[in-house]
Structure 1
Amino acid sequence: MVTMTAPTPDTGEHTVSPDTGALVVDRRNGKVGVVMGHVGPYVQLRPPRGGREWDVPPEDVRPPTPTEELSAKVAVANRRWGR
């Protein structure tokens, strides 16, 4: 299940690492990913449909736009139905 949550700034305006399962966007390349975990200073993301994970600094993730979120949900649903 993909949880659609995003990183939030703390009181000092620093980015807090998103929770595992959160859907975020890598600002560096625009790819949407699901947070799989944290290793050292990095957030590990995986495409919503599955695939290879990649590492992103927490300051380089952002919440998805409504369009990006919907697209990710459709990709997950399509995979479930074999499309």
Structure 2
Amino acid sequence: MDVNGVGWVAAIIVGGLAGWLAEMVMKSNMGLFMNIILGIVGAIVLNAILQAANIGSFGAGWGAYLITGFIGACILIFVGRLVRR
């Protein structure tokens, strides 16, 4: 089973990188495990949003997964901050 054209191991690695980048941009302190979760879930959430809007995804492969995971993780961090307030 693959996620957006990458395997599970690559999804964990690229998801962790996307989560870490989002953590740096959004100035939050989450930790390694949460970065991985944010990157993977962020990619899934943004893909669902793009499909619902009939836009399509950024493509397949590592680069597209990194971009999707980064933007999705930033959205999740933003929504998390809104909920906490």
The structure with the largest strand share of the pair is 1
The structure with the largest helix share of the pair is 2
Fold shared per TM-score above 0.5 = no
Could you state the TM-score of these two structures normalised by the residue count of structure 2? Answer: 0.29
Structure number with higher relative contact order (C-alpha < 8 Å, ≥ 6 residues apart): 2
Could you state the TM-score of these two structures normalised by the residue count of structure 1? Answer: 0.30
